[in-house]
Amino acid sequence: MFNTSGDILDITLAVCVVVLTVFICLGLYYLVSGIHKIHKVIKRVDDGVSKAEEIIEIAREKLKNSSAYFMILGEIAKKAMEFVQEKREKKNPGTKKKK
């Protein structure tokens, strides 16, 4: 079967090529698996960022609406204070009005 040292060399080289091919395939498998996991993590982060942006946008809209309500409430409070001051002046005509 092994007539010369060249036959042994050829068989050894063939086994080395097969083993090297197996290691390269395993390495590529783990590389692709790692890239896939990284892609999943990036996708989850992207989804989280999208949800955070939606929440921030909703909060911004609520604040814009509530600021309009605060302005209205401020005007109502101002008118109420003026009304109370006018009633006090009518009740006590000797006091001075502050502005």
Q: What is the pLDDT of residues 8-37, one digit of tens each?
A: 999 999 999 999 999 999 999 999 999 999
Domain range annotation of the chain: 1-66
pTM above 0.85, yes or no: no
The DSSP string of 3-69 is: -SHHHHHHHHHHHHHHHHHHHHHHHHHHHHHHHHHHHHHHHHHHHHHHHHHHHHHHHHHHHHHHHHH
Q: What is the pLDDT of residue 99?
A: 53
Q: What is the pLDDT of residue 18?
A: 98
CB atoms inside a 10 Å sphere around CB 89: 13
Of the chain, the percentage scoring pLDDT greater than 70 comes to 93
Of the chain, the percentage scoring pLDDT greater than 90 comes to 46
At 64-90, the pLDDT tens digits run: 777 777 778 788 888 888 888 888 888
Q: What is the pLDDT of residue 95?
A: 56
